[in-house]
Structure 1
Amino acid sequence: MPLWTDFNKDFGLQVKRRKKIRDVYQVFTTTGRTLCYKPYSTGEDEVAFIRKLFVHLDDKGYRYAPKPVEGPGQKLWSFHRGQYWLLTNWVKGRSPNFTRESELMKGLRTLAKFHRVAEGFTAEGIPNGRIRYDELYQRPGDYRSDIRRHGGSLDRFIDCCYKAEAFSQKPAIASAVEMERNAGAFSHGDYNYPNLVLDRSNHLHLIDLENASMNVRMIDLAHILYRNYPWNGRGVLKGIEEYDRKRPLSAEDRHLLYMLLLLPYPLVRAMRQFGNQYLRHIELPSSSRLSGYKRTLRKLL
């Protein structure tokens, strides 16, 4: 059965026209609605989890995430040729440009506002693979293994992994992780400009929760800081200060963030993405610059 026959049947909507954009379809209906139809290469339990997160955000009054569309007979998603499909509203706008400081600062404030409601999620049937609070403890060892596989003069980055691993064993980290677990906290999982849309009213929207999981929220803040301020201590502190204006960081948050920011994520990301050609795509900091970065991070605590 054609994809759009399933779409019409499952959601009771007639398609006027459609447009493929990356991995999703922008769908224009005969009633004037503009919708987003996205496939997921996961099991039904994971699609259900992602949809419940969208509903949770809506129930919390969060206006800057897509709202799922329900079909007749409480049809929540469609299934076509081995993939599940979710239907949400289409957010009109453009990707933010994080090379512009004003838009990056808006991204940090938007993340803080999202994190204020990214808790209290207690739905039944959360897939085990989406419960990742303890994954944080494994990261230093995983990163260290990645770096060692490539060899070279990278001992200073392996040392960062050891320092993060040692810090992860402190009681403050265990306490922080348990606080997030008990709060029912979840993380976006890939918070950066490709998964955000700046609308015509200058509001920033999250458009994808494909990588979301039950996890410590500081994973998200560390990620956007890694991507936009690699080994730049002053930039990192400035970004944290902007986030803190909308969601003040607790002592526990700061311990988690310090541990995560010690990790050489920019290097490991380049290795995983480009393999042995990684040096063509990243500028590695000198030992003195890396030492200065780590000293600056201490101001978090």
Structure 2
Amino acid sequence: MERREVFKALETWGIRPEKVRRVRGVFKVWTDREIYCLKPVKDSKKRLLFFDSVIRYVKSRGFQVLASYIHTPEGEPFGNYDGQNLILTPWIEGKEIRYRSIKEMIGAAKVLAEFHKAAEGYKPEPGIKVKDKLGKWPEKLARRVGDIEFYIELAEKEGSDFDWYFLKNADRILKDTKEAFIALRDSVYYKKVEESRNLTQICHGDPARRNFLIDKKGQIHLIDYDSMKLDLPITDLWRLLRRTLNRDQWDIDVIRRILDGYTEVRPLDQEDYQLLAIFLTFPEKVWRILRKYYEKRGRDGWSYKRLFRKLRKFLAQQENRARFLSEFKMIYCEE
């Protein structure tokens, strides 16, 4: 959207901005009284109704550290300009959490646990399209195995330094991916899925650092709810932990402290820890690097040097990673 289109789109909410500035994929909007965030989204109207209903539900259950959708005068939680759906929220002024700050990561884990706790028991209203990913992970990991095998075939044909370095480590990458798939398929996963479906558990879907903002008072806010879905909360926790691990050399003490923060709010049982260990076994980071290298070549943001650097950095941590997984299973998974 162009700046002039933003001014026009805001008329949907009866807002006359004084200033507008693009910040990443959103627009920061100043008025004489408030500051807003206008975000163009690709989601359907039914999906946006789902996001809004969950936000209203968790807020009614005490989870206040979020930005609610501002409804139009007609009562819709979204607007539309020239075929583009838009959401408007208050602007939360704050800085992103840092993965290397244990204090901030513990705080983020607590906020994530509070969200999971508040979201439990949600019941969708008629006409709402719920994004349901429960029970899909074994199938997804099976596809990841196929992806790695396909990338090995491509690397054997192409022969660049990237290909050579990948092939040097391919056996371990493929082994870990297969191990995660088989372990999940044969685990308590489907039992936990049925429990989760009965409880109606919601995942945020993207607990990255950019979605945790610390305000001037030190309060952490969880933002951007357009990846929400029905899924096991443990998958959100895995996403948060793996991003930390990739930066902290797979330090078990760091993860213990973050998990303590989460379980202080929302306890986990041994089956949760078993599933968490399986997800952590899957080398998701290297799969993303390989996928971008082999399948997104030539697109915006693709860089041979940057991807090769990321690949080397991740694979250089393999001994630390193996030791971490062994320690994690010994601490959390053995009876």
Q: Mark the CA change 1:289 to 1:73 in structure 2 (over 3 Å): closer, same or farther.
A: closer
Per the TM alignment, residue 218 of structure 1 is displaced from its structure 2 partner at its CA by: 0.9
The TM-score with structure 1 as length reference comes to: 0.90
In structure 2, the partner of 1:39 is 40
State whether structure 2 residue 269 is matched by structure 1 residue 250: yes
Match of 1:157 among 165, 169, 173: 173
In structure 2, the partner of 1:4 is 7
Q: Mark the CA change 1:78 to 1:223 in structure 2 (over 3 Å): closer, same or farther.
A: same
Q: Distance in 1 between matches of 2:187 and 2:101?
A: 39
- Could you tell which deviates more after superposition, 197-206 or 251-260? 251-260
State whether structure 2 residue 223 is matched by structure 1 residue 210: no
Q: Distance in 1 between matches of 2:26 and 2:71?
A: 18
TM-superposition CA deviations, 1:109-166 (whole Å, max 9, x none): 22222221122121134436x1101221123212222322322131112222222222
Per the TM alignment, residue 12 of structure 1 is displaced from its structure 2 partner at its CA by: 2.1
Q: Distance in 2 between matches of 1:265 and 1:171?
A: 19
TM-superposition CA deviations, 1:79-136 (whole Å, max 9, x none): 11221111111111111222222212222222222221122121134436x1101221
Per the TM alignment, residue 197 of structure 1 is displaced from its structure 2 partner at its CA by: 0.9
Match of 2:325 among 283, 291, 294: 294
State whether structure 2 residue 100 is matched by structure 1 residue 99: yes
In structure 1, the partner of 2:27 is 25
Q: Distance in 1 between matches of 2:327 and 2:220?
A: 30
In structure 1, the partner of 2:250 is 232
Question: Is contact 1:11–1:75 with CA below 8 Å preserved after alignment?
Answer: no
Amino acid at match of 2:323: G
Q: Mark the CA change 1:263 to 1:71 in structure 2 (over 3 Å): closer, same or farther.
A: same
In structure 2, the partner of 1:200 is 216
Match of 2:188 among 160, 167, 172: 172
Per the TM alignment, residue 286 of structure 1 is displaced from its structure 2 partner at its CA by: 6.5
In structure 2, the partner of 1:223 is 239
TM-superposition CA deviations, 1:213-234 (whole Å, max 9, x none): 1111111110111111137251
In structure 2, the partner of 1:73 is 74
- Could you tell which deviates more after superposition, 78-87 or 105-114? 105-114
SS in 1 for 2:86: strand
Amino acid at match of 2:198: N
Per the TM alignment, residue 268 of structure 1 is displaced from its structure 2 partner at its CA by: 1.1
TM-superposition CA deviations, 1:2-57 (whole Å, max 9, x none): 4423422x212222222211111111223x01111111012222222222222122
Q: Distance in 2 between matches of 1:272 and 1:216?
A: 25
- Computed over aligned residues only, the root mean square deviation of the Cα atoms, in angstroms, reads 2.2
Q: Map 1:118-137 to 2 at 5 A.
A: 118-124=119-125, 125-127=127-129, 130-137=131-138
**In the comparison of the two structures, how many residue pairs are matched?**
298
Amino acid at match of 2:309: R
TM-superposition CA deviations, 1:162-189 (whole Å, max 9, x none): 2222222335221111111111111111
Question: Is contact 1:42–1:83 with CA below 8 Å preserved after alignment?
Answer: no
Per the TM alignment, residue 76 of structure 1 is displaced from its structure 2 partner at its CA by: 2.3
Amino acid at match of 1:17: K
In structure 1, the partner of 2:159 is none
SS in 1 for 2:37: strand
Question: Is contact 2:40–2:86 with CA below 8 Å preserved after alignment?
Answer: yes
**Which runs of 5 or more residues in structure 1 are unaligned?**
none
Amino acid at match of 1:263: F
Per the TM alignment, residue 238 of structure 1 is displaced from its structure 2 partner at its CA by: 3.6
Question: Is contact 2:48–2:77 with CA below 8 Å preserved after alignment?
Answer: no
The TM-score with structure 2 as length reference comes to: 0.82
In structure 2, the partner of 1:266 is 285
Q: Distance in 2 between matches of 1:45 and 1:294?
A: 41
Per the TM alignment, residue 285 of structure 1 is displaced from its structure 2 partner at its CA by: 4.5
